[in-house]
A and B are shown apart, each in its own frame.
Chain A
Amino acid sequence: MNALSKALLFSSGAVGLLVLIFFGAAIEFNAFSVNQIAKNLTEFRFMGYTLSQMIGMGEPTSLADHLVKLKIGLAAYIGLGSLFLLGLSFFQTTATQLKLLSFGISVPLLLLLFSFWIRFMNDDRAVDRTDKFQLFAFTLITYPSAVLVLWYGLHVRRKENGSKSEDEIFFRAQRSRTLPEKNLTLDESLQADSKEVSVETKDAPENSLSEGDQNVLLVAEDAEPAGDALTVSLEQENGSEQDQDQPPSDVSADVISENTDGVLQPEDPIAEDNGSLAVDEAERSKGEFSDAGSDVRTAPLSSSTKNAEEPLEVEEIEMSDEKRAETPSKDLLGQSDNLGEVEEADGTLLDGAAVSQKEE
């Protein structure tokens, strides 16, 4: 999403600048006639005001003056807007981009509306019903839009958390893929992540599983490297759980897409809530959890990143077969798998020692 928005903003800004350059060159070298455009622009009236008055360039004294003012004014507006979009594309997070974009839209819109109204109120100009209707329509569209966009800009903080989690998961996923080369266990990689990845864990509750977090991290003592382990476990789960007809889960879909594409899909709503990810390879391969009707949940990433050396909480959740049957899940390619049932119930992080103890 971030890359998409970056590309969108960058291309919009670049197109704006290119259009500006193109028209500037066309006018300069008489590449084609802009008489009709110039005529339309100079004849444009809103409430009796010309376009140059609307954009704050003052009342034109002659046609030539009008054209010069329009050229300067419009070029400045388009150029500034394009540069603004280009600048936005260099921000790292989508949330920041959206926030600044909303400010960049709403504040000029409100300024335009307010300045126009103040000018109109202090002006000495009689207007008829048609003009009043135009003004009403303009205000009716502009004001609520600007206020809503501004409100969004002021309250985009929640999205910002989610966006950071997305980034965090993105980095985590990339790191997980590189783990086999480094020959690291998932626990080690998580500990390394806790040092490297900046995560807003202080504000988050230590055990966010109780808040319905479904993004889980299953950790086994003898776990395989994360990328392979996750794939293997999902395949095994597919094999063991296919006949249960479980509906697909969004969470598992996210994990799947991460593994298949190498990039985690940021539109995962659950990943936004909690940035934890785990796989219990050993337990899954045995299928003990599913057979016993219980589910093991991992602690959120915050727990692991906060103090990786502390023993993690173990929570075993009983789950009936009927309930499990209703639990949605999805495999790597969008097919049904068993990961969903692990993610559906509440739970905490289960470390390798605890799992082994449980097995015994």
Chain B
Amino acid sequence: MILKRTLSVLFGSLIGLITLYILQGACFRLVESYANNRLKWAWGNYIQGTIDPKLSKLPLDHFVQPPKENSSVPLLVHLTNENDYSQKVFSFALPLRDRFLNFVRSEEDTLRNYEIRDLQMIRGVASPGLRRAALLEDVRDGIARREGDLIEYADACFLFVIDDKSTTGYEEKFASLETTFGFLLRNGMACSLLPADSLEDLMGKVSYLKANHGLLAENLIVYGEGQTAALIMEACFARPEFYRGVIAVNPSRPVPAPNLKSKTWFLGITDGDLHLDDVKCSMILDWVRIGRQSEYLYPSRLGGLLRTNLQNEDLPIPSLAIAYAVQCNRYFKEASVLLPVAPAQVQGDTHHDLVESIGIRTEEGGIQAKRAADPLPEAMEDEPKFDCQMVSEYREIHENDPEVNRLSNRELVLRIGDSLKEMGEQVMSQVEEKDPLFMRFYLSLKELSVNSTE
């Protein structure tokens, strides 16, 4: 009798436990806010991401370790490991993918509330219509006439690169991508369908966008398939600092990964035949690994992903790519303060030299792109340095601290300012008397971060 009762209780408890497990898993799988919150609990915020020691004891997808490089293992095994890792670590984005799929299948005429305009050589840029008050540095950079003016910006810019010689017409392709762009626009991302017939053409257009519409193209995410996937990888190889994210679907040819530690996130989507081409396979694996080389948690986990044999969704663009772009945008919107300032001096023909030096095949007809790239150096020179007395003194004091040396002036301004703010208003007023420029820098950056968060 007791045994029966015990068995009954055990059986009931087992079912209860499984039910709880499935309930939790179902919430994670279906409820976007819960999935994002669980990610935050596991990894912390974007800037100070650390793995939670208590939660890490649980077998959650967030704590799966990236595959290690092992030359003795066949490439196919590497591919499988990378695929499994990417699927698990990015599982928190499945509700977002569901939302995108539902949006694409149910919404119509999604661009009617958004402005679509031509930016000289770049046709049909849809902007999300976000506006903010201009800051002092915007005035200094020539973006706004005076402080407080409303200026247009976007959290990120998504470029769908297509082959200019493609049989599918531009208009037709744009129409098929309308709902996709509508979804991205709702997430604060500008979108454009960018035809490119060569590497130089592509680089010219991207350079023009960065130079003349910096607020729209601050965080640039590019997407390409086949030939254009290889093209965008070559462009990223040449100027990695231009791109925040590269999404390459079945690149047609092998492209070497950037040598320097890249800040660009990379997502490779391939079919099952990738392992047949060893060179292409190993190069894509290099891209993925280099993408994950970061001292920060989020990029070290999500910076390089590779998926093989994705489920066919009958969409113009895989939902995984859109989810990755949105996640990339979310991260860089908040964590851009961690990134070093782009190189101030870029020679006029740098990208051309780079292209030639690395031996990437280029095609003729890049004159227009070269001209378009010319305004870039001036724009880059105007990048704010945030150089002030407080920062200089702080650097002198922490001369031997490698962490401080690694930080940019912008990050230091924010960090010192936050510390002083915690000390109280009196300290802040004293600092303002001592170094008013520092206070202006700090308040501007703070306001910028608050606006972007909103």
Contacts and interface: CB of A to CB of B under 8 A. Distances in A.
Interface of A: 48, 110, 114, 117-118, 120-121, 124-129, 132, 143, 147, 150, 154
Contacts of A129: 102, 106
B25 A118 contact: yes
18 contacts: A117-B25, A121-B22, A121-B25, A121-B26, A121-B28, A121-B29, A124-B87, A124-B307, A124-B311, A126-B94, A127-B101, A128-B101, A128-B105, A129-B106, A132-B30, A143-B19, A147-B15, A150-B15
Nearest to B8: A154
Nearest to A139: B26
Interface of B: 8, 11-12, 15, 18-19, 22, 25-26, 28-30, 87, 91, 94, 97-98, 100-102, 105-106, 307, 310-311, 313, 319-320
Most chain B CB neighbours (cut-off 10 Å) among A117, A121, A127, A154: A121
Given A124-B87, A127-B101, 8 more contacts: A118-B25, A121-B28, A126-B94, A126-B101, A128-B105, A129-B102, A129-B106, A154-B11
Contact of A126 (B18, B26, B97): B97
Main secondary structure of the interface of B (DSSP, over half): helix
Contacts of B18: 114
A125 B313 CA distance: 9
A240 to B, nearest CB: 48
A77 B454 CA distance: 56
Most chain B CB neighbours (cut-off 10 Å) among A117, A124, A128: A124
B12 to A, nearest CB: 8
Contacts of A120: 29
Contacts of B307: 124
Contacts of B11: 154
B18 to A, nearest CB: 6
Contacts of B28: 121
B189 to A, nearest CB: 19
Contacts of A132: 30, 98
Contacts of B19: 143
Nearest to A110: B15
Nearest to B90: A124
B319 to A, nearest CB: 5
Given A110-B15, A132-B98, A154-B8, A124 B22 contact: no
A125 B311 contact: yes
A118 B320 CA distance: 21
Contacts of A125: 311
Contacts of A48: 311
Q: Which 10 pairs from chain A and chain B are nearest by CB?
A: A126-B97, A121-B25, A126-B101, A128-B102, A126-B319, A117-B22, A128-B101, A124-B87, A121-B29, A154-B8
Contacts of A143: 19
A94 B98 CA distance: 49
Given A117-B25, A117-B26, A126 B98 contact: yes
